[in-house]
Amino acid sequence: MSEGQPTGAPPTGERPRVNVSRWVGRAILLALFVIFALRVWSLRGQGLLHPATPRGSLAPDVAGPLLVGDRFRLSAERGHPVALVFWAPWCGPCRAELPGVERVAQALKASPHTARVIAVDTEGDRDNALEAAAKLGLTLPIMLDDGRASSAYQVTMIPQTVIIDRDGRIAQLLRGGTSEDALMRAIEKVENP
């Protein structure tokens, strides 16, 4: 080492070492940030970051065949609070939530409550829905969605529950798995405002 050369500096005539892994890591982080920002911008442009049916707005009227029975039409339930529970047979969190949803539906039927709970199968496949309903012991009404109900409520994740008041307005949106108690409280809140 020559005199006067700072400690830690490369010997004269050698190039300083570049930490390639540090630069690669930074480039990957920057790329991920750009991808995330573009995705958020895209969703925002499609209106998917904000529900199409904000709280207080009139709930879109949806209809479809029931797994057991004839048809369900939301507008026919006016005067009754309704909980639309969007789910699919392949969805693990949905399958975990549905037994509690079933207990809420049964408790409402066995009491003076007037609220209705409707499970909306976003897949719309009768055979898969029948199999899942049998495995989970579901007896509540299950509407098979052809995609229109999910689209009307801009369901981007499941499970998702939309609580509709007796006037047909959106009262609350519950995204992700909802406990039995939280669902019952949300329904009671619209029954007894």
| 46, 85: one domain | no
Say whether pLDDT at 163 is over 90.
yes
pLDDT winner (highest mean) among 15-19, 31-35, 126-130: 126-130
| 143, 102: one domain | yes
Average pLDDT, the chain: 84
Q: Which two tokens stand for residue 37?
A: 């920002």
| 70, 153: one domain | yes
Residue 169 lies in a domain: yes
Q: For 81-122, how does the pLDDT look when each residue is reduced to its tens digit (9 = 90+)?
A: 999 999 999 999 999 999 999 999 999 988 877 899 999 999
- The pLDDT, as a whole number, for residue 32 is 74
| 70, 28: one domain | no
Q: Which residue has the higher pLDDT, 3 or 99?
A: 99
Q: What is residue 65's three-state secondary structure?
A: strand
Residue 128 lies in a domain: yes
| 16, 85: one domain | no
124: left (phi over 0), alpha (psi -120 to 50) or beta: left
| 185, 159: one domain | yes
Residue 22 lies in a domain: yes
- The pLDDT, as a whole number, for residue 28 is 81
| 72, 109: one domain | yes
Residue 5 lies in a domain: no
Flag the least confident range among 44-53, 110-119, 150-159, 166-175. 44-53
Where residue 181 sits, what CATH number does that domain have?
Answer: 3.40.30.10
Residue 32 lies in a domain: yes
What is the span of the domain harbouring residue 41? 12-50
Please tell me the total count of domains within the chain.
2
| 160, 181: one domain | yes
Q: Are 79 and 145 in contact (CB under 8 A)?
A: no
User: What is the DSSP code string of 160-174?
Assistant: EEEEE-TTSBEEEEE
pLDDT band at 45 (very low <50, low <70, confident <90, very high): very low
